[in-house]
Structure 1
């Protein structure tokens, strides 16, 4: 029996702008980090630029697999689907396979292996992928990569009206490739942060998301968030691991001050988005992923209007999407698949 999803909340203009910022924020963070992935860590006086290159190699402004995979989810979420349902998970899994077959760039090792195994397995796409992911995780002690957290922002938009459903969907979508408990928990926390940022315009949802974790894991994650707030992003050097990836992104967000409102001097609080993304790239190592993770939450808090115009003009990526296309996918998802601006 199909679930009856909670109604999508009506979004005023400011909340709609914040919803529109989720995919766009992830994409610009991704494209900003692409040139510096696994290269020498930038100094504090060095400003990252969208110059392309990286592991793709990518064109200037082009986003990587981090956003490409999130687009695969968004194409399903934008129809108004409940992302917990098997049919939706099958569709997402099929999109992943289509993306991989089209020559996806810079695919993570774990994701590539799971998708390849699932493609040869019987059963529906989602079932095959979840089973391949479970078997991989059972055989590998190091299976808690950042590959599901990097694509999770759109899941929050699909379930703005029901935080419990949001948490269930975050776990289900993560489990297609990354069922490790650390991955599931990280996706729940970040989706909670994005949902609250869109609806309320604060970052409070990340810590509020602790309530959706298993009781025995909440204290551990509270300490991890404390640690992130106490250290700069570059402290979390193993950010291919989902825990350090989340901590580096959260550190970049919480330790970067929002400028005071001084219009005469060209200073606005929403410039926090740009400054925090630059800090995320300076974390080093998996720069595009950390910045994509941070970008989804920063976009949810400050909105698409906070993304610098030059970044909006430059950003592009598979499958031939621009900033306006990413905004449209996000808004369709937040409105339950409806084009009606009134929600």
Structure 2
């Protein structure tokens, strides 16, 4: 069966829109920065830790845009030039004094700016220097498995849709620009494979499909993903989602809950079409935010995979109308950017 290019484009656009809308929906409630009413569900009211405008996305999508812009430009994101452009984009973003930045990312990028390692535009060799600094940070702290690489990884999944091995290598390489811990790279590999396959097939695929893309010794670290035991603790066990592994499980819980609700709401004749609706996306984001903790990040991660399943029309129109953020983009811009990535 051939690939329906139009539908693939729609699901790719849904991936970026899902990331951005999930992020904006989680912003007001990050670490309890606003009371959350489960009867009403999340709303893109802004505020949060960065005092964002209503509908504005945060650092999750902002950093993802640094990757997406390079992918859309036609420069391979896994090439030395592409990696330098991504790293330079991270520093450009940081130089703009973003409203909210993860602790690990700030600890890495701020000294690079202070030491004048970056000037405006792409700087040759900056990716290697950033990776080296990230490695030194890991050696000094031992704590570089935060969720900051996973939160921004969705565009990587769109860059090489027909090549799962190349996608996996790119996901890990881009994660290592800032997050040296192998678990951070693993989580990006797994989530990118789930998104990539879902975009191509239209069927919701989970991250366990990417376990064979990890080095064999690393699979043991993800035994809970393979056997499903990560579900045993329920949502309460997923609140410590600043850790990349827990963030992945929290996002996966949200996606699974949305898929289950979608199937329950249709009869057997329509099961193959279940899950491609606004209700599905809304249910997933509601679950992600209700978990608590780093709500914008978990909802952004979940939103990427949900968006890959439901496409543009499955992301609630009311949310698409208001979503926006750095670098001066809105929903239409994200849709166009997805098309450019696939064409490139």
For residues 96-175 of structure 1, the aligned pairs below 5 Å read 96-119=90-113, 120=115, 124-175=125-176
- In structure 1, stretches of 5+ residues that fail to align are 1-8, 337-343
Among 8, 12, 24, the residue aligned to 1:31: 24
Identify, as 1 or 2, the structure richer in helix: 2
Matched, 1:14 2:14: no
Give 1:83's aligned residue. 77
How far the C-alpha of 1:229 sits from its partner, in A, is: 4.0
Give 2:320's aligned residue. 312
Give 1:290's aligned residue. 298
For residues 32 and 195 of structure 1, what CA distance do their matches in structure 2 show? Answer: 24
Asked if the contact 1:20–1:331 (Cα under 8 Å) also holds between the matched residues in 2, the reply is yes
CA offsets, 1:196-227, max 9 Å, x none? 01001123251110010111222431414613
For residues 299 and 291 of structure 1, what CA distance do their matches in structure 2 show? Answer: 11
For residues 210 and 121 of structure 1, what CA distance do their matches in structure 2 show? Answer: 40
- Superposition RMSD on alpha carbons, in Å? 2.0
TM-score, L = length of structure 2: 0.89
Asked if the contact 1:228–1:248 (Cα under 8 Å) also holds between the matched residues in 2, the reply is no
Query: Greater CA deviation, 248-257 or 39-48?
Result: 39-48
For residues 64 and 156 of structure 1, what CA distance do their matches in structure 2 show? Answer: 20
For residues 229 and 331 of structure 2, what CA distance do their matches in structure 1 show? Answer: 34
Among 323, 329, 333, the residue aligned to 2:337: 329
CA offsets, 1:251-306, max 9 Å, x none? 111133242348xxxx9632211101110011101000000000111111111110
Give 1:244's aligned residue. 246
Give 1:276's aligned residue. 284
For residues 30 and 95 of structure 1, what CA distance do their matches in structure 2 show? Answer: 20
For residues 45 and 253 of structure 1, what CA distance do their matches in structure 2 show? Answer: 19
For residues 11 and 104 of structure 1, what CA distance do their matches in structure 2 show? Answer: 39
Give 2:235's aligned residue. 233
How far the C-alpha of 1:42 sits from its partner, in A, is: 3.9
Provide closer, same or farther for how the CA distance between residues 277 and 96 of structure 1 changes in structure 2, counting only shifts above 3 A: same
Provide closer, same or farther for how the CA distance between residues 326 and 206 of structure 1 changes in structure 2, counting only shifts above 3 A: same
For residues 82 and 234 of structure 1, what CA distance do their matches in structure 2 show? Answer: 40
Asked if the contact 1:232–1:248 (Cα under 8 Å) also holds between the matched residues in 2, the reply is no
How far the C-alpha of 1:81 sits from its partner, in A, is: 2.4
- In structure 2, stretches of 5+ residues that fail to align are 118-123, 268-272
Q: How many residues align?
A: 324
Give 1:48's aligned residue. 42
For residues 113 and 93 of structure 1, what CA distance do their matches in structure 2 show? Answer: 15
